[in-house]
Amino acid sequence: MYLLQVNNPAGITSVMFFGTIGMLTLTVGLIVFIIFHQRKVIRYQGTLQRMEQDQQRMLLNASIRLQEEERQRLAADLHDDAGPLLATARLYLNENLVNMDKVSQLQSIYNAKQIIDDTIQLIRNISHSLMPPTLKNFGLESAVNDLFQKISGSGSLNASCRFHDYKERLKTEDELILFRVLQELVNNILKHSNASFIHVTQNINGDRFFLRLHHDGRGLTQSDFEKLNKSPVGLGLKNIQSRLKLLSGNIYFEKDVSQTYYKVTIELSKEEIS
């Protein structure tokens, strides 16, 4: 009112006319813009929602496939190894044993006992691969040490680990998840990277729990990881992602600044795992 001080009727009329037309145009323009913009935003949100659902479906499929593969492997181990061993032991202990002479009887019993011992060891190995007793009884640090000792013992590469801030154990189910993730990462390194060393470190920084895996072989960068995740292959990596999702954790793949080794960092919130 003070800014638009016009007093003569002609002036007032033109200001009113142009002002009204201007305001009307702006109002209609704004409303039309809002309607179309909102539809665009909703279409975009719909696309994001669909992408997220596709990603979830892919992760679930990968998880189910891995479970089935694990079951098939177990079934194969039991059928191909344990089954024939027990059948052979049974052969030795069949009813014809009573018709043999004492020496032959003792020999058959001894052979059957050997086979049963081998079967027990086989079943023990299968059971350990399902749930390592070291992990359950002594914790993540001991289980990883154990695993790395076996790998180093094979002579194929040098594996070591150092847990800096692991005075208190995590929950058993969280330790199992982290162990499986490390196991999967190590298996991938052994299968694909041609590395000569693997080193795992653990530490806590503020309220973040870190596990870092270093190796000097062919590794993945974060962009490789994301590409593999979006594709139907890379079952193991999807499994890692699903497991870390349970702990609300993040995983980063990168090549070290010195360009001499690859680093995989697993980051978790202390609140989520304590």
Partner 1 sequence: MLRTLSINSGFLPIIFFLLFLNRNKQKKLWVIFLYAVISVLTDYSYDIISRKNEFYIYSFFTIAEFTLYSIFLYYNLNTKLFKKLLLISYILFFPITIYSFFQKEFENFDSLTASIECILIILFSILFLYEQIKEPESIFIYTSKKFWIIVAFFLYLSSTLFLFMYADKLPTMEKNYYWSINFVFNIVKNIFFTIAFLLRKNAFSDQPLMKNQFNY
**Contact footprint for partner 1 (CB under 8 A):** 1, 4, 6-7, 9, 12-13, 15-16, 19-20, 23-24, 26-28, 30-31, 34-35, 37-39, 41-42, 45, 48-49, 52, 241, 244-245, 248-250
Nearer to partner 1, 38 or 61 (CB): 38
Closest CB 215 distance from partner 1, rounded Å: 24
Tell me the C-alpha distance between 126 and 121, whole Å.
9
Closest CB 192 distance from partner 1, rounded Å: 24
Nearer to partner 1, 124 or 245 (CB): 245
| Cα–Cα nearest to 239, from 65, 74, 52 | 65
Helix 235-246, helix 9-77: angle, nearest 10: 110
- Alpha-helix residue ranges (DSSP H) falling in the chain: 9-77, 83-92, 102-130, 133-138, 140-153, 172-188, 222-230, 235-246, 270-273
Nearer to partner 1, 31 or 120 (CB): 31
Tell me the C-alpha distance between 189 and 217, whole Å.
8
Closest CB 177 distance from partner 1, rounded Å: 13
- What lies within 8 Å, CB to CB, of 221 at 6+ separation is 253, 254, 255
Nearer to partner 1, 3 or 130 (CB): 3
Closest CB 257 distance from partner 1, rounded Å: 26
Closest CB 202 distance from partner 1, rounded Å: 20
Nearer to partner 1, 85 or 247 (CB): 247
Token representation of residue 262: 């690859």
Residue 258: half-sphere exposure toward Cβ, Cα within 13 Å = 7
Tell me the C-alpha distance between 92 and 130, whole Å.
31
